[in-house]
A = this chain, B = another copy of it.
Amino acid sequence: MIKLVLAEDQSLLRGALASLLALEADFEILADRLDGRSAWADIRRDPPDILVTDIEMPGLTGIELAEAIKRDGLKTRTLIVTTYARPGYLRRAMEAGVSGYLLKDAPATELADAIRRVASGERVIAPELAEAAWGEPDPLSETERRLLRLAESGLDSHAIAGTSGLARGTVRNYLHEAISKLGASNRIEAARIAREKGWL
């Protein structure tokens, strides 16, 4: 019997998956949660064999859950199920020691199969991503990432300086660095590129 915990913030999908997986004779669903923090409480109390989780959730992200599991040395293996085919996400997930990374574009029938394979110790990566995993590494520094995020929301250099405690000129220097690293021609394009690659 493979014991599962589900973490997914889209209720419709979570409910549908829970019903569907519950139909499989060899699965037992211990809990389904819509945020990372309550899922973590469940996992800690009674570690399941497999955690099936989204990445972007309120509270803790799926990747942070995987890191916590690794840190505490729990037996639980993590299977990420996400919308985003972004190399940066996959890279961070691998570093966090996840055992599987599927896309929500995958056919539903593949999920049960992937869960069984992960449970038996295999590693499952969405084929679309298998190669991209070894794509370019994230070139951004933490500061550049932080400022790019602020710029993305429409703040100007002065406002960014205010909220980040830097000088106006320094902000422009960092954004300039980000722009040139990403081959963009302005901060907007830079933010778009970084987001597409999963670096934001």
**A residues near B, CB below 8 A?**
9-20, 81, 83, 102-109, 111, 151-156, 184-186, 188-192
Contact = CB atoms under 8 A, between A and B. Distances in A.
Contacts of A9: 105
A36 B150 CA distance: 36
8 tightest A-B CB contacts, nearest first: A15-B108, A154-B189, A16-B16, A154-B188, A12-B104, A10-B104, A16-B108, A13-B13
A186 B156 CA distance: 8
16 contacts: A9-B105, A10-B83, A10-B105, A12-B13, A12-B81, A12-B104, A12-B107, A13-B13, A13-B16, A14-B108, A15-B107, A16-B19, A20-B20, A151-B188, A154-B186, A154-B188
Most-contacted residue by chain B among A9, A155, A156, A188 (CB, 10 A):
A188
Given A11-B108, A20-B20, 10 more contacts: A9-B105, A12-B103, A12-B104, A14-B108, A16-B20, A19-B20, A19-B108, A153-B189, A154-B192, A155-B189
Contact of A11 (B17, B107, B190, B191): B107
Nearest to A188: B154
A105 B12 contact: yes
Contacts of A111: 12
Nearest to A156: B186
Contacts of A156: 185-186
Contacts of A153: 188-189, 192
Nearest to A16: B16
A118 to B, nearest CB: 16
Contacts of A16: 13, 16-17, 19-20, 108
B10 A185 contact: no
Contact of A108 (B12, B106, B155, B186): B12
